[in-house]
Structure 1
């Protein structure tokens, strides 16, 4: 427990560093565990992901913060906050103990077998922590820090992605930074406690003015006086979970072409700035011990928020929702920090794998300016004021918002909270929708290849697209046909040819902005076997179109679908996704009940028909990446 507290507090300090305007740390933390995966060696480690232009600065920052802990230790408020966080995490696991997934248990048992690590179970761990944590003193933790953070037995490992203009520091340079930090004057950590409440004043509560129910699906729908729609689906799938999502039509499609370059990441910019009166770092501290989180998002066609909480922290989550909608923050330092992080990700996109994904995205959108890869130029064009004003516009009116709650709650008991924090949100009666900017896949057969990287491998993608007469049945047949194709490709490309480790085949359909579908087939292989394996994949497609599925494969698909439905139907996220899908596309939720009948009615004819309809051999994209020629 002491080591967990120590690592958690140092990780929190690194998180604070990240939010400084010019910090090169994109991700970082600390903790105890096995040394480089060696089960026989334990170590206390710090780790970080750094921007390419700030490697030495990032290393210095991480070493300095670690040395600060070794010399001066932690302060009382940090320890109490970390105790509260750790206990809240254990309490959530304890409350869900009767519904723990098998994979979580088997992982612990495997670890026990390999290392003889004790597996007491949460039934013991949580009561034990409740008993022991209050007695752990600051002196005890700081003494442990001195034992774990030593001047000897220190290993530094640095890996740098090869890219033009980026040189990895030498061993001598790293040792010089290490020694310089050891000799530097480092002041103790200081923080000022912020005791202000999340909301400076309570919002004026609205009222539920209309109620509908879908008894067969267990759904209640409310209409609030401010126009907001609330969808409630109480469940008993998890004892300590409520999932939340809100959405409204519009998204980045509402940005003009001239403003798109300046505000395409408005949700990331404003979401990383904190909310209301509080910077992100302060907000994180205030939420210590609360199992409640929320973040805003803006997609091409919708904007909204997503979150989750423990039932006892529902009010906190609703307060956060209220702040992100009614009182978003504009913070220059957070903006600079966010741009620094994006620049780091842009530099990482130079890898062959990332370049292949980006090339496919650009190709499928025919180079549309709203579907461009992340680059340093795109990051530099972002503008805080434009992004902030766009965010305000997207969230200023909840009249056309839908708020969805799925999880462990009672409808009548949460009504006052919904009326207070959602009913009290601003509304002017605005109704609008997304705009169609004409982003379409290319027509005909398009084949493209390029060379990048030195690894002896090629990446291949085949993409089929087209319009679709959307219905529950057509969507189901598309997915079922793709599942059959996936089996056929795996058997031919991997098991018979031995040409790939794995092959992916997936399908998706959409109603907005125009009804359509997309089927992606991808695999990695020996460059010398690309033509052979592509030809084999196309033969499988021809066979499925001409002969249809085998009875064996058809039965496999039905068995898998029934099993998936059994588990999905008792998953809160599954219901959240389904509700958003049906309501955002204006489809009757009652159609969801027809899925078992679709599974039972699946036959060879429907799959064959879908293969001929959606695997159009006169309309697909083929993209191949080869390694660069060796000189």
Structure 2
């Protein structure tokens, strides 16, 4: 079965693999391929099967340095549970962290934290219908740590203790996770899942299980599940990282080779998704549902099989081209007048069942617009069926696919290990192919030009059918809203298939973004910083450009830019009138080209620029490749000088925003955020709260556009940043052409600081909303201070220590939460201010008890400071993260920009490890005494009584 991670904007072409005639032979630039030949596996991945049946995958990969990603994959999930085991596949995942032969209760997490591995952020696991996967990143530069890492995953495989006491202790944690999942989406799923997965076990085996069984299951039921399904012939060990293959293979053999299978192993069944002649319509509504969605599924009649041959791979390429084109059409519709949905997309791919694929369309829409959105999806599918696609859109789709493939190919030796392991997990579980990136690029480059439009157009005939069809509508239930009826859906299905539709009209577009080249400026000065590896240019118009050439990625350049001012320079009235309009400024396009035309012109290019106007600055950000760097510069120049103004484009944006926001506050969680924010910030004369549909109607687009022109009239006070694989001569030339030529007025603006300050001191706000027995708590310390960099680091570290303690106390000891955490910062912009936040969800009956337990931990930090052991855990994690960050373009871009934006010394970037090592218990203790004794605001969300 093909599993796709899909969005309307992104198609990962290297996972969509596409029909050769059975006997045909095709040639690439390097190799000849025969259609029936198997897809070759990546020769850099060593695979094997131990005598006991355990499969392993090993790859040496140097990025990131000194780290190996370990995975234990169990080909067993909730689909295999007996009636007395509902939820126990997932429960078993929890128990592997709660006592094994070599790591007693809490020792596992405690040990990993001591070497810098964070619980949740790094160490994790997940359980699905058909599999359970354990995730463990471990340092690879220390033989002892590596050995411990393999001992941990071995223990997960067969050494879980499963004591009665620990099983009972974990019930509370799992029940809290179960509680978190309750709500409108879960209730609506109970309505539509039996129709979506009609006649299958998938409709009856949600991984979380049932509350009743989680509370009452017998110990033997869990132990039986572990014994039956955690066995070598159903397991794979994956090890990818910065260490030699021989060492990893030896570790796998020594730790897993001796594990025995049961004498009479239970067969591991595969569960089918039966066919059905009917069209099932599921309409589910809920008064707490924040969003409206429609989904259309045409399930295959025959079971899927893995891609095995070159013909299979090429067929998936054809499917990818199809998806690219139909989603381009849907994107045009969402960006046109009166859009029927916030977003919509269509693809062919997997269902919950491994054995069945489906042609699927989805859209998010307004509560009143579900039928219109469904009709649009149906009509566009039918339009393709009647008329197919056309040559222009076909060529653009192939260009886009090839551009993404080329980028992946160029960065093949810079791929992070955690991005590689997914291919091997899917190969083990579903026999998906795992060819090398070199092979994929070579095959795609060779075969993409041979795909014909007729091949792509033919797919729709097998996709659309009148049996095995499911339509799902979910959304809010509220007064005055008439729910869609099943008869209306069925009538619409009949109506669309009888329509005589016009073909898609593909309008020609210009070939160049720039209609007139700007007059070139110049570079006034160069300044290099050998320590940071940066160069700073002062342009003839006064703008400052800082760039850093890196080798972290071969085909990536990141970009950011800012100028002080932002909306702080607006009057209160201007701010309120434009706050909901600024986000729609770029919807009109640039230089006379609308958004759809721009999309077509950008086919085959990877260059994105985003414009923003924030509270204290305006700016741009984006990304590109070395090949398309000039396109990014051109877009940047046009955002300064030639942003279109188009009332229709803005109305389209506002309509989508209204559809998205229209029912948001019916969600208890969003409502709580809104009310607590209003409580703390509501006296700000600029406070706007969550925007409503009425707010969008009142947004002043014309004023927003005029203020945009003011904010971007002077490029001379902008700072620009570029980080990545930069050709320095080319960058300098582009800066002269497209940035130094931008207008400059010499304004040298700064930002204005309001007199308003948020509510401080000791306050309590209880907000009641929702029917589920769910509560959440937020505790906020904040207020004025004097910025100090070391103190800011100490306070942030104190929050990380507190997070460790809250997990230990609230989760492991009390069993009262699934997760809890704290975060903190001290900022010097727009004024010196500190914040320290604590949050956790829980049951209403436990709110007071858990707040008391939390404050006990806070008081202990105030009284005694952290333990040396906990401080060392935090320091190890910070250093590990920092060492990885140092090798990423995103980190350097943010650090270089923020050094200027916040007026900090950029050389502190390289002194972070020194700063971490110098942190002491006294530093954190002093921060606790200073900042956690000034009173706090308690926000509590409870259900309605």
TM-score, normalised via structure 1 length: 0.97
2:650 equivalent to 1:335? yes
Asked whether 1:363 is paired with 2:673, we answer no
| CA-CA distance at 1:357 after TM superposition | 1.7
Out of 544, 554, 559, which is 2:861 matched to? 544
Q: Deviations over 1:408-455 (max 9, x none)?
A: 113233211111010111111112111222342212211001211111
Match of 1:478 in 2: 795
Shift of 1:6: 0.6
Q: Return the alpha-carbon distance in structure 1 between the equivalents of residues 730 and 609 of structure 2.
A: 22
Among residues 448, 458, 470, which one is paired with 2:765 in the alignment? 448
Contact residue 362 and residue 372 of structure 1 kept, 8 A: yes
C-alpha separation in 2, matches of 1:291 and 1:306 = 14
Once the two structures are TM-superposed, the CA of residue 371 in structure 1 deviates from its matched residue by 4.5
Question: Pick from 435, 458, 464: which aligns with 1:149?
Answer: 464
What does 1:79-478 align with in structure 2 at a 5 Å threshold? 79-350=394-665, 351-368=667-684, 369-478=686-795
Q: Does 1:517 align with 2:834?
A: yes
Q: Is the deviation greater in 150-159 or in 461-470? A: 150-159
For the Cα contact (< 8 Å) 1:436–1:513, is it kept in 2? yes
Cα shift at 1:516:
0.7
Q: CA deviation at 1:162?
A: 3.6
Shift of 1:359: 2.0
Whether the 8 Å CA contact 2:662–2:693 is kept in 1: the answer is yes
CA distance in 1: counterparts of 2:394 and 2:589, whole angstroms: 23
Question: What are the superposed Cα offsets for residues 385-417 of structure 1, whole Å, 9 maximum, x if unpaired?
Answer: 111111111111111100000111132332111
**1:163 Cα offset (Å):** 4.0
CA distance in 2, matches of 1:157, 1:438: 51
Which segments of 5 or more consecutive residues in structure 1 lack a partner in the other structure? none
Q: 8 Å contact 2:609–2:620 — kept in the other structure?
A: yes
User: Which of 336, 340, 353 is 1:20 aligned to?
Assistant: 336
Residue aligned with 2:440, SS? helix
Tell me the alpha carbon deviations over residues 503-549 of structure 1, each in whole angstroms, 9 at most, x when there is no partner.
12112332111111112211111011000011111111001111111
1:160 and 1:168 in contact (8 A); partners too: no
Give secondary structure in 2 for the equivalent of 1:441. Answer: coil
**How far is 1:103 from its partner?**
2.0
CA contact (8 A) 1:500 1:525 kept: yes
Partner Cα distance (1:413, 1:23) in 2: 41
Contact 1:242 1:308 in 2 (8 A): yes
Match of 2:941 among 621, 625, 628: 625
> Are 2:315 and 1:7 aligned?
no
Please list every run of 5 or more consecutive structure 2 residues that lacks an aligned counterpart in the other structure: 1-316
Distance in 1, matches of 2:418 and 2:756, equals 41
Q: Equivalent residue of 1:38, what SS?
A: coil
Displacement, 1:99?
Answer: 1.3
Gap change, CA 1:577 and 1:164, over 3 Å in 2:
farther
The aligned counterpart of 1:564 is: 881
Are the aligned partners of 2:672 and 2:767 in contact in 1 as well (CA < 8 Å)?
no
Aligned partners of 2:581 and 2:696 also within 8 Å: no
Do the aligned partners of residues 126 and 439 (structure 1) sit closer, same or farther apart at CA in structure 2, a change above 3 Å counting? farther
Q: Counting helix residues as a fraction of each chain, which structure ranks higher?
A: 1
SS of the equivalent of 2:662 reads: helix
Q: Does 1:499 align with 2:833?
A: no
Task: Answer whether contact 1:293 1:309 (CA < 8 A) is retained.
Answer: yes
Question: 1:261 touches 1:381 (CA, 8 Å); kept in 2?
Answer: no
TM-aligned CA deviation for residue 267 of structure 1: 3.6
| Contact 1:261/1:378 (<8 A) preserved | no
| 1:300 CA displacement | 0.7
Query: Is the contact between residue 346 and residue 374 of structure 1 (CA under 8 Å) also seen in structure 2?
Result: yes
With 254-263 and 606-615 compared, the bigger mean Cα shift is at 254-263
1:409 partner SS: coil
Distance change in 2, residues 1:426/1:523 (3 Å): same
Asked if the contact 1:18–1:24 (Cα under 8 Å) also holds between the matched residues in 2, the reply is yes
> Secondary structure of 2:853's partner?
helix
Per-residue displacement from partner, 1:81-126 (whole Å, max 9, x unpaired)? Answer: 0001011111111111111122221112111122111111322111
Task: Give the 3 Å change call, closer, same or farther, for CA 164–99 of structure 1 in structure 2.
Answer: farther
Tell me, yes or no, if the aligned pair for 1:294 and 1:306 is still in contact at 8 Å.
yes
Distance 1:13 1:361, change over 3 A: same
Question: What is the CA distance between 1:243 and its match in structure 2?
Answer: 0.2
SS at match of 1:52: coil
- Structure with higher Rg: it is 2
Contact 2:607 2:631 in 1 (8 A): yes
Cα displacement (A) at 1:588: 2.2
Q: Does 1:615 align with 2:932?
A: yes
Residue deviations 1:461-492 (CA, integer Å, cap 9, x gap)? 11110223213212211111111111111111
Structure-2 separation of matches of 1:277 and 1:341: 23
User: How many angstroms does 1:266 deviate by?
Assistant: 4.2
Task: Tell me how far apart the structure 2 counterparts of residues 360 and 124 of structure 1 sit (CA, whole Å).
Answer: 54
Query: Which has the higher mean CA deviation after the structures are superposed, 152-161 or 57-66?
Result: 152-161
Query: Structure 1 residue 166: deviation in Å?
Result: 3.2
Equivalent residue for 1:587, pick from 900, 904, 914: 904
Greater mean deviation of Cα atoms: 207-216 or 565-574: 207-216
Instruction: Compute the displacement of 1:8 (Å).
Output: 1.2
* C-alpha contact (below 8 Å) 2:511/2:601 kept by paired residues: no
| Residue 554 (structure 1) aligns with | 871
Looking at structure 1, the residues matched to 748 and 671 of structure 2 have their Cα atoms a distance apart, in angstroms, of 40
Inter-partner Cα distance in structure 1 for 2:599 and 2:461 = 27
8 Å contact from structure 2 (residues 802, 821) kept in 1: no
Q: What's the CA shift string for 1:530-582, capped at 9, x where partnerless?
A: 00011111111001111111111111011101101110111111111111211
Cα separation, 1, equivalents of 2:717 and 2:577? 26
Say whether the 8 Å CA contact 1:349–1:374 is kept in structure 2.
no
SS in structure 1 opposite 2:432?
A: coil
- Which whole-Å CA distance do the structure 2 matches of 1:173 and 1:26 have between them? 22
Deviating 4+ runs (over 4 angstroms) = none
Secondary structure of the corresponding residue to residue 356 of structure 2: strand
**Contact 2:340–2:376 (8 Å) recurs in 1:** no
SS in 2 for 1:216: coil
TM-score by length of 2: 0.65
